[in-house]
Amino acid sequence: MLDNIASLTPAQIVAELDKYIIGQKDAKRNVAIALRNRWRRMNADKSIQSDIVPNNILMIGATGVGKTEIARRLAKIADAPFTKVEASKFTEVGYVGRDVESMVRDLVEQSVNMVKQKKKEEVKQKAAEVVEDIILDALIPPIQGRSTPSFSTTADPNAMPDNDFELNERTREKFREKIRNGELEDRKIEIKVQQSSMPGMGVMGPGMDEASMMNIQEMISGMMPKKTKKRKVSIAEARKILLEEEASKLIDMDEVKEEAIFKAENSGVIFIDEIDKVASSSKKGSGPDVSREGVQRDLLPIVEGSTVNTKYGIINTDHILFIAAGAFHVAKPSDLIPELQGRFPIRVELDSLTKDDFYQILKFPKNALTKQYEALLSAEEVELSFNDESLDEIASIAYEVNTEVENIGARRLHTVMSRLLNDILFDVPDKIGANAHILVTREMVQEKLSGMVKNRDLSQYIL
C-alpha cells in the first residue's frame, strides 16, 4: 500500500516538490526524509517496526511562504490521506467547539474516500456492463419469460425473425450498438435512483459540532430503509448516476474500511496550522492562556500516539505523520508546553519570499498563476502570454506591496494578478473576440499597477 513511496528516493521527492514550490530547500529535504522513512519502517525488521515512530515536523514561517503547500503536495506524492486543521479552531475539553480527536476522524474519512474511489475504478468495467443493460431495458424492455434467444448468433441478420422474442432480441442488440457508439446520448429515459431516507434532518445536542452532527445523521439514515424514485434523464446523465450506484454495490465496504484504516495509520498526514495561536506568549497562566494550554494538552496524546474511536473502527495514531506550522510572530516555539515541543523534534524555518522568488513563482511551477490565467482565457480561444519583463515587474510590485502593507507571502500575487487582468477578463468575449492574442508587457503592468504603488494608494491590494 506504500508502493508510491517505494519508487521515490528523497532526492526524487524533492524534485517533485520543486515542480510546484519555489525555494524552501531545507523544509523540502526534511519532509522528503520523513516520507521515505515511512516506507523504510514498513520494510524494516518486524520485531522493531512498531517502535519506529515518525519524526514530526514543526514549520516556522510567515503566511504564504509554502508551509501548507509543501504538506499537501507531499501527501499527493505519497497518495496518502491528508487533512489540514487549524489549531485555533479547537477548544479544550468541556468547552463548545471542535475536539482534537475530530482531526483523526477527518483523516479516516479522507482515507475511506480514497480507497473507495480506487476500488470503484477496479470494478468500473463490470459496473459499466450492468449500467448498459439497465439503460437497454429502459429503452427496449425484454420479453418476460424467455431467458435466452432461440436464434443462432451466426444466422443471417437480414433473415426474417421467427417470433416476437427473436425480434425483440435483435432490436435490443441494434440499440446496444447505438448506445456503445454514443448515438443516443441525448435521448431521455426513465430510471430508478436511490434517494436519501431522511433529507434535511437536523440533530441538536450540547457542544455538538457540525462533523459530529453529520455522522449521527448518516448513522440514522443508514438504519432507515432505502427509497427509490423515478427520474427522467438523458442517457448520458443516466450513465453517470447509475455507474456510481452500481460500482458502490460491487465493492466490499468491510474490505474498504480495513484498508482505509491501515492506510490512515501508516501513511496518513495531519497538518496542524496556526499552532502558534495556542502557544502561550506569557507565563501568567491566567485568562485565555489557560484554555490555550488546555488545547495543547488535548493535542499531546493524539500526537504522542493513542487510539481514537471513529465510525469506521478504532485507529491508532502512533505512526501518523504530524506536521505543525505557525508564523510565531508573537509567541515563540519555546512557549509551547515542553511535552508538545518534544513531539515535534524536527524544526524547519522557512525563508521569507524575495522579489526573485516571486518571479520564479510566476514563471516555473506547473500550476503557476500565469499558466492558470492562460488556461482560463484559452477556453475563450484567446491566447494570453507574458514576457519576462512583465513577470519581473509584477514580482517587483508584489514584493513592494508586501513590504509596505502587510506581508502575506505568495498570496499577494493573486491580488496583484487579479487587479492587472480584471479588465481583460471582463472584456472577453464581448470586446475581445476569439483568436485574439494578448501579450502582457512591462508597460502594461506599470500602467495598471505601478502608479498606485508610487502614490501609496494601496487600498486596492488589502485583502
What does the alpha-carbon distance between residue 177 and residue 259 come to, in Å, rounded to a whole number?
Answer: 39
Examine the domain organization and report whether 130 and 214 are in the same domain: yes
- Please count the other Cβ atoms lying within 10 Å of the Cβ belonging to residue 1: 13
Domain boundary among 187, 217, 250: 250
| 428 inside domain | yes
| 462 inside domain | no
Total domains in the chain come to 3
Examine the domain organization and report whether 311 and 280 are in the same domain: yes
Examine the domain organization and report whether 303 and 392 are in the same domain: no
| 173 inside domain | yes
Examine the domain organization and report whether 265 and 322 are in the same domain: yes
| 461 inside domain | no
Examine the domain organization and report whether 30 and 103 are in the same domain: yes
Question: Which DSSP helix (H) or strand (E) runs through 323?
Answer: strand 321-326
| 97 inside domain | yes
Inter-residue contact 264 to 77 (CB < 8 Å) = no
Q: Which domain holds residue 30?
A: 3-118+257-349
Domain boundary among 303, 329, 349: 349
Examine the domain organization and report whether 292 and 328 are in the same domain: yes
Examine the domain organization and report whether 31 and 93 are in the same domain: yes
State which amino acid sits at residue 457: D
Examine the domain organization and report whether 278 and 263 are in the same domain: yes
List Cβ neighbours of 72 (8 Å cut-off, separation of 6 or more).
82, 84, 271
Domain boundary among 349, 374, 392: 349
Strand partners, 234: 188
Examine the domain organization and report whether 267 and 314 are in the same domain: yes
Which CATH number belongs to the domain containing residue 336 in this structure? 3.40.50.300
Cell numbers representing residue 424 in the block = 481583460
Examine the domain organization and report whether 331 and 298 are in the same domain: yes
Q: How do 188-195 and 227-234 pair as beta strands?
A: antiparallel
| 463 inside domain | no
| 272 inside domain | yes
| 14 inside domain | yes
Examine the domain organization and report whether 303 and 372 are in the same domain: no
pTM of structure: 0.79
Which CATH number belongs to the domain containing residue 381 in this structure? 1.10.8.60
Examine the domain organization and report whether 211 and 113 are in the same domain: no
Question: How confident is the prediction along the chain (463 residues), in pLDDT tens digits per residue?
Answer: 455 667 789 999 999 999 999 989 999 999 999 989 988 998 999 999 888 989 999 999 988 899 989 998 988 888 899 999 998 888 665 455 578 899 999 999 999 999 999 999 999 999 999 988 888 888 888 876 554 444 444 455 555 555 777 888 888 888 888 888 888 888 888 888 877 555 555 555 544 555 555 566 666 656 666 677 888 888 888 888 889 888 988 999 999 999 999 999 999 999 999 999 888 765 544 444 556 788 899 899 999 999 999 999 999 999 999 999 998 988 889 999 999 999 999 999 999 999 999 999 999 999 999 999 999 999 999 999 999 999 999 999 999 888 888 888 899 999 899 999 999 999 999 999 889 999 999 999 999 886 556 555 545 544 4
- Please count the other Cβ atoms lying within 10 Å of the Cβ belonging to residue 62: 18
3-state SS assignment for residue 316: strand
